[in-house]
């Protein structure tokens, strides 16, 4: 097999970074990932535990596709995947950088509730039946499939943003969203909810600058 160059593996201080081409077919990407892990980079990927960051570039990968990438890498017992991020996820993180921001890593499962005074960022998913609450903004770098309540103390100038917005319900202050099937679009990537004249609206994160004073550029949205 002739080695392709859709995947570049670089060593960094924290471990390894996998840079994945964002223009090739996903199946082709997985084939090369298998190939490099099993042959050309086998010596590099053996030995003690190594932390791995996966960079997707501008590729809009679904949660299932991200899981497939992680599954392939985990087949090497010494590789621990810490993150799978695209440019959009990184820009979402930049948008949330504030002094009172709390960052949590993990999954909010059914029956679990996370609450924070201030802005909160979850680097993971909110599963159906899970709840995330905050007095400020809520940012989910993952799939939001449960309930999110921002502005629980009454603030109405807050937002709820997610890499994949598929909630069972959204609340901002005392405003509750309509049933999801009434407002969800076919493309739920990188969207946010906000209040306008007492009604909840959904828009792309590329439009967030219209609400906030500091303009933020979201690439690839």
Q: What HEC string does the chain produce?
A: CCCCCCEEEEEECCEEEEEECCCCCHHHHHHHHHHHHHHHCCCCCCCCCEEEEEECCCCCCCHHHHHHHHHHHHCCCCEEEEEEECHHHHHHHHHCCCCCCEEEECCECCCCEEEECCCEEEECCECCCCEEEECCCEEEEEEECCEEEECCCCCCCCCEEEEEECCCEEEECCEECCCHHHHCCCCCEEEEEEEECCEEEEEEHHHHHHCCCCCCCCCCC
The fraction of the chain above a pLDDT of 70, given in percent, is 78
Q: Decide: 16 and 52 in contact? Cβ < 8 Å.
A: yes
In terms of CATH architecture, what is 95-210? 3 Solenoid (2.160)
Q: What is the pLDDT of residue 4?
A: 52
- Per-domain residue ranges for the chain? 7-85, 95-210
Put simply, whether the predicted model's pTM sits higher than 0.75 gets the answer: no
Residue 20: both structure tokens together? 């994945």
**Tens digits of per-residue pLDDT, 79-132?**
888 888 877 676 666 666 554 688 898 899 999 999 998 899 999 999 999 999
Residue 47 pLDDT grade (very low, low, confident, very high; cuts 50, 70, 90)? low
Q: How far are the Cα atoms of 3, 18, 35, 75 from residue 31, in angstroms, in the given order?
A: 11, 14, 6, 14
Assess whether pLDDT exceeds 70 at residue 192. Answer: yes
Are the C-beta atoms of residues 10 and 17 closer than 8 Å to each other? yes
- Find where tokens 């535990």 sit: 49
What are the C-alpha distances in Å from 34 to residues 31, 130, 199?
5, 34, 48
Look at residue 100 in the predicted model and tell me its pLDDT.
66
> 219 pLDDT band (50/70/90 cuts)?
very low
Query: For residue range 51-83, what is the model confidence (pLDDT) as tens digits?
Result: 888 888 888 788 788 888 888 888 777 788 888
Residue 34 has pLDDT above 90, yes or no: no
Tokens of 188: 């739920």
pLDDT tens-place string over residues 126-150: 999 999 999 999 999 999 999 999 9
Of 109, 199, 201, the C-alpha closest to 161 is 201
């Amino acid at each position: 097999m002739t080695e392709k160059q859709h995947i570049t593996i670089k060593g960094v201080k924290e471990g390894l970074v996998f840079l994945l081409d964002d223009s090739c077919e996903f199946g082709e990407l997985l084939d090369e990932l298998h190939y490099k892990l099993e042959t050309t980079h086998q010596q590099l990927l053996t030995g003690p535990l190594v932390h791995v960051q996966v960079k997707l570039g501008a590729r809009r990968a679904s949660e299932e596709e991200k899981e497939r990438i992680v599954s392939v890498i985990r087949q090497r017992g010494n590789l621990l995947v810490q993150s799978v991020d695209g440019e959009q996820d990184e820009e979402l993180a930049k948008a949330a950088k504030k002094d009172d921001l709390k960052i949590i890593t993990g999954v909010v499962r059914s029956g679990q509730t996370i609450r924070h005074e201030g802005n909160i960022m979850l680097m993971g998913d909110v599963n159906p039946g899970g709840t995330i609450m905050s007095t400020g903004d809520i940012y989910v770098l993952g799939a939001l499939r449960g309930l999110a309540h921002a502005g629980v103390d009454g603030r109405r100038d807050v937002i709820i943003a997610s890499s994949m917005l598929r909630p069972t319900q959204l609340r901002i202050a005392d405003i509750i969203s309509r049933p999801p099937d009434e407002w969800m679009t076919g493309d739920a990537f990188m969207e946010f909810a906000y209040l306008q004249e007492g009604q909840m609206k959904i828009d792309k994160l590329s439009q967030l600058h219209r609400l906030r004073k500091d303009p933020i550029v979201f690439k690839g949205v």
